[in-house]
Amino acid sequence: MKKLTLILLLGIGLSANAQAPKIELYDLMSSLIPAQGQTAWAQTGQLNPKLKFSKKKIDSFTKKHTQSAAAVVAVQGETIDCGGKKTCTWDVELSGNAKSVNQFVISSGLSNDLMDMDESTDYTNPKFLFKGKKVESKVFKDCEDGNVFYELKFPGKVPVWMKIYTEGGAHGVSLWIECYLDKKDIQCF
């Protein structure tokens, strides 16, 4: 009976991750950034067919439109573990007005893998995240609060402005990647 329970629990855990597609961070971001010359995004289903976005939600107070999806994200071909138990499922959220998306956020689950970063695994550094890829990155704004915004240029895409940071504590750390399609939306706190 214990073996059957263990097999069922393993199957449930594996099937939960099987529902979220695995995708390299570079490919995910490249699919979310509009091509040069586009002023608005097409339907979100055309951004990355691997991702299954939720129906659009509208905040009645801010009038902000959002859609979200889940993915298992790899960086340099490696995924991070959530507490050593399973591969983390990351959240992908698009937001904007009724006509177009002007921001996207990619965030990981809590992970101990992110607690002991060094130069070889610095998930908050674009040079590590996109090592070996054709992405131009430079510091755009260094905020007094410690946050840094980078200007990124992917081949054939419009520039985006990205802030990367971690949040967490003793139980793990989450990685947050916020990308803006218009530099006037950048705010230091």
* C-beta separation of 163 from 149 below 8 A: yes
* C-beta separation of 107 from 174 below 8 A: yes
* C-beta separation of 103 from 164 below 8 A: no
Q: Record the pTM.
A: 0.81
Nearest to 102 by CA among 67, 130, 135: 67
**pLDDT tens column, 133-187:** 999 999 999 988 888 999 999 999 999 999 998 888 777 788 899 999 988 888 8
**pLDDT tens column, 51-108:** 888 888 898 898 888 889 999 998 888 888 776 666 788 999 999 887 788 899 999 8
The predicted model gives 20-35 an average pLDDT of: 89
Bridge partners, 104 (sequence order)? 94, 179
